[in-house]
Amino acid sequence: MTTNSQESLEIVKPSYSAAAGPTYSKKISKKEDMQRSFAFEWDHPESGAYGSLVDNLGQFFGVLGLVPCCCCANPYKSVQQGTVGLVTKFGELYKAVDPGLVKINILSEKLHIVSVKIRMIEIPKQTCITKDNVNVDLTSVTYFSIVEPEKAVFNIDNVDGALAERTKTTLRQVVGTRNLQDVIERREELAEAIQEVISQTVQNWGVTCHDILIKDLNLPVTVSHALSMAAEAKRIGESKIITAKAEVESAKLMRKAADILASKPAMQIRYLDAMQQMAKSANSKVIFMPGSGEIERQAGDKVLEEAGQGSSLSNRVTDFVSLQESTN
């Protein structure tokens, strides 16, 4: 294992057999990646003779505070990771310190702890009026962090409360410029518009707004019922259109099939299929009829035969008449 305060640390688990599991490695982030440094020291005027006296007494009592079981306060204070310490001397901002152990003067200095972690504020349900005069109830969440601790502590009294009120006002303002349909369908755009307005304001507070989410959107019962009815009517209309298109396609296919079945080859195929089905039946009496072409041919032969019989009879009559004339 290699350690270095300026570089990433890498811990490698020793290799084992296949049954023990695979070897893995884990990289530890740099301290600077976890929290940037806020350490800084401002110039401050001299406090005079009285200030020097109090300062010296504070240092003296601070030394006594290091002795166990002493009633004096300990001059060493801890600043936790994720926070920043602001030290004031006689009420004036003196310096900013990073996480760790910090020594202060117990009489002339005071340590203010400020969190620089990303925090969340849940905005309770707010009733807003849209551009088309519809009441909607919105619940949102705001994520923010302090980037300038000195401004967040000394320029504004309550950062969380001020940010919450600003979010409520901006929410009503932005929703009032949009129609109900836009509020329902474009929540992300609505949240981005609110975040853009808020970010411009909270910069002066030493705060950065990271994200705003619209959690819940509730409509009045009458509006919800009307929207559901409209959606149902739209679905019914779409289903009717689909059904009508299917019927048109079906009619086209049936017309095409009818044209095909009306042809002579198709009729012959159907005739043969019918003959096969009748031949398979054991109890049916089947009379085999000739096809349409065979019927026409037989009919033509019959006509020709009858025509031939008529001509021979006329010849016989002619011969009989000529015989009678010769005898006379």
pLDDT one-digit tens code per residue, 197-247? 999 889 989 999 999 999 888 887 776 566 666 666 666 777 778 888 887
Same domain, yes or no: 199 and 123: yes
Spatial distance between the Cα atoms of 80 and 78, rounded to a whole number of angstroms: 6
pLDDT on residue 6: 42
320 falls within a domain: no
Same domain, yes or no: 104 and 141: no
pLDDT on residue 208: 93
pLDDT on residue 61: 82
Residue 138 has pLDDT above 60, yes or no: yes
246 falls within a domain: no
Output 287 or 39, whichever has higher pLDDT: 39
Residue 74 has pLDDT above 80, yes or no: yes
Same domain, yes or no: 72 and 139: no
- Give the total number of structural domains in the chain: 3
Yes or no: say if 110 and 58 are a contact pair by the CB < 8 Å rule: no
For helices 264-280 and 292-327, what crossing angle results, to 10°? 100
Same domain, yes or no: 109 and 125: no
Same domain, yes or no: 123 and 210: yes
Same domain, yes or no: 101 and 134: no
- Picking from 195, 219, 243, the residue at the C-terminal end of a domain is 219
At residue 157's C-alpha, the angle toward residues 102 and 174, to 5°, is 125
Yes or no: say if 149 and 114 are a contact pair by the CB < 8 Å rule: yes
Spatial distance between the Cα atoms of 309 and 301, rounded to a whole number of angstroms: 13
Same domain, yes or no: 102 and 173: no
- Picking from 219, 249, 271, the residue at the C-terminal end of a domain is 219
Same domain, yes or no: 69 and 45: yes
80 falls within a domain: yes
For helices 221-261 and 264-280, what crossing angle results, to 10°? 90
94 falls within a domain: yes
Percentage of the residues of the chain whose pLDDT score is greater than 90: 26
243 falls within a domain: no
Model confidence at 183, in pLDDT bands (50, 70, 90)? Answer: confident
Output 162 or 33, whichever has higher pLDDT: 162
196 falls within a domain: yes
Instruction: Characterize the bridge pairing of strands 135-146 and 119-129.
Output: antiparallel
Residue 320 has pLDDT above 80, yes or no: no
Please provide the size of the chain in residues.
328
88 falls within a domain: yes
Structure token digits, residue 294: 């065979």
pLDDT on residue 303: 46
Structure token digits, residue 144: 């923010």
- Picking from 115, 138, 169, the residue at the C-terminal end of a domain is 115
Spatial distance between the Cα atoms of 103 and 53, rounded to a whole number of angstroms: 19
CA-to-CA separations, 186 to 89, 179, 183, 191, 221, in angstroms, rounded: 51, 10, 6, 9, 21
Q: How confident is the prediction for the chain on average, in pLDDT?
A: 77
Residue 142 has pLDDT above 90, yes or no: yes
255 falls within a domain: no
pLDDT on residue 323: 53
pLDDT on residue 2: 40
Same domain, yes or no: 67 and 158: no
Spatial distance between the Cα atoms of 134 and 155, rounded to a whole number of angstroms: 38
- CATH number of the domain bearing residue 156: 3.30.479.30
For residue 281, what are the domain limits? 263-303
Same domain, yes or no: 202 and 294: no
